[in-house]
Amino acid sequence: MTDAFFNEMFQSGRVRPPYAQLEGWTERMPASLRSLKQAEAEALFRRIGITFAVYGEGGDPDRLIPFDMFPRVFAHDEWRKLERGIKQRARALNAFLVDVYGRGEIVRAGRIPSRLVYLNEAYEKAAAGFVPPRGVYSHVVGIDLVRTGPDEFFVLEDNCRTPSGVSYMLENREIMMRMFPDLFRGNRIEPVDRYPQALRRTLASVAPQKCDRDPTIVILTPGHFNSAYYEHSFLADLMGVELVEGQDLFVEGEFVWMRTTRGPKRVDVIYRRLDDAFIDPLCFRPDSLLGVPGLMDVYRSGGVSIASAPGAGVADDKAIYCYVPEMIRFYLGEEPILKNVPTWQCANPDDLGHVLDNIADLVVKEVHGSGGYGMLVGPKSTKAQIAAFADKLRANPGNYIAQPTLALSTCPSFVDEGIAPRHVDLRPYCLVGERVELVPGGLTRVALTEGSLVVNSSQGGGVKDTWVLAE
């Protein structure tokens, strides 16, 4: 890791080769044109309906996520290394899930403490003893990556349940191609628009044992009040599948059925975009009105597939994250291609002592937290905030992990005063089914506030198009 921030466009005063075509582009864009294009992008986002909600906040329930028109660029060779590392990690995470819901060999071998697995609130006992089709628990794996140097990439966290944001990846590209067609004529950029077809192919490949025809696939959404509802409907349209809510499905006999105007239609694969707790009120939360009563019985008997599988969340717990490199060695017999960020587990008394002594310099996260909530960024916090968080840490140390504040790379971004470097991360989406694949690119999130390292949209971050240059 480096002390200075790595600028992905400029190195030693020169433009790095992947960005060579963009230097002249910005010089030819006066401020008036930039403002016009920014307004055009926002109008397109609003017209298409690309909005998100932040729970518990007042104001506009359908907020636009800020869109930065300056693309992020990866050279072909850079991407190929990332691709290999992401696929390796996705395979190991799925092998871990099959194992811990089966014989638990990695726990028996002493490689992972049993309490982190079997006492984890994300571990679903209802999934134990059942192996889903093709041994895949997590069908869409979102791997959050940060960069600290020319060849230094780190995995910040894994998302094995329902990673969101892929609609922004697709729409960012669509809007950039519409607004700046000359850029795409002058650069050989790998396409991302095959993602919906690849997702549908992945879901079809994990059809259940009892499916004897072309599988019927649906996306199960909590409804239009969900923060990612736009993405649910967007993907359903692009894949040509039905978007359903729990009330649209019912269990009868050995199968799940969908209510249609032509009568019941059997459903084979459910791409669920709601949490485990709400999937089936007969198995999980009895007060859930979002799920399908009896769904888990049909799932376990091979009558329907659920993607991602119930219980997949135990693999992306932040305490389990520390052991993913060991999973890669244990299940694949390989060395990890992508590194973890050094992590202290506060449940360990020695680690807790180190974290409390150095909390002002660390990032402390809730083990089950997400979206930038429940975390402390020490260098950006006041003494009062640090003291209050330290009290929470002492009261429940097992609920937290801590990491150093990495020198996240920066990418040029359009801001009010012109073009300035802003910190970025990357979430590629790895599909796991009959094969493991990912489109060349992902969702780049950008911390638009100067000096901020928090890129989450819920915390004021924005998004930008991610280019992978063809060979």
Q: What is the pLDDT of residue 109?
A: 98
- Residue 89 backbone class (left: φ over 0; alpha: ψ -120 to 50; beta: rest): alpha
Asked if 316 contacts 275 with a C-beta cutoff of 8 angstroms, the reply is no
Tokens of residue 57, six digits: 């906040």
Name the 3-class secondary structure at 131.
coil
Per-residue pLDDT of the chain (471 residues; tens, 9 = 90+): 334 789 999 998 899 999 998 988 888 888 888 889 988 988 888 787 666 555 454 445 566 788 999 999 999 999 999 999 999 999 999 999 999 999 999 999 999 999 999 999 999 999 999 999 999 999 999 999 999 999 999 999 999 999 999 999 999 999 999 999 999 988 899 999 999 999 999 999 999 999 999 999 999 999 988 888 989 999 999 999 999 999 999 999 999 999 999 999 999 999 999 999 999 999 999 999 999 999 999 999 999 999 999 999 999 988 899 999 999 999 999 999 999 999 999 999 999 999 999 999 999 998 876 655 678 988 888 999 999 999 999 999 988 999 998 889 999 998 887 889 999 999 999 999 999 999 999 999 999 888 887 777 666 689 999 999 998
Asked if 434 contacts 462 with a C-beta cutoff of 8 angstroms, the reply is no
Q: Please tell me the total number of residues recorded for the chain in this structure.
A: 471
CA atoms in the 13 A half-sphere facing the CB of 110:
0
Before 409, cis peptide (omega within 30)? no
Tokens of residue 269, six digits: 């694969």
Q: What is the pLDDT of residue 412?
A: 93
Give the bridge partners for 72, in sequence order.
Answer: 466
Q: What is the pLDDT of residue 196?
A: 98
pTM of the model: 0.92
204's CB contacts (< 8 A; 6+ apart) are: 214, 215, 217, 269, 433
Domains in the chain, please, with CATH? 10-337+407-468 (no CATH), 342-404 (3.30.1490.270)
Q: What is the pLDDT of residue 379?
A: 87
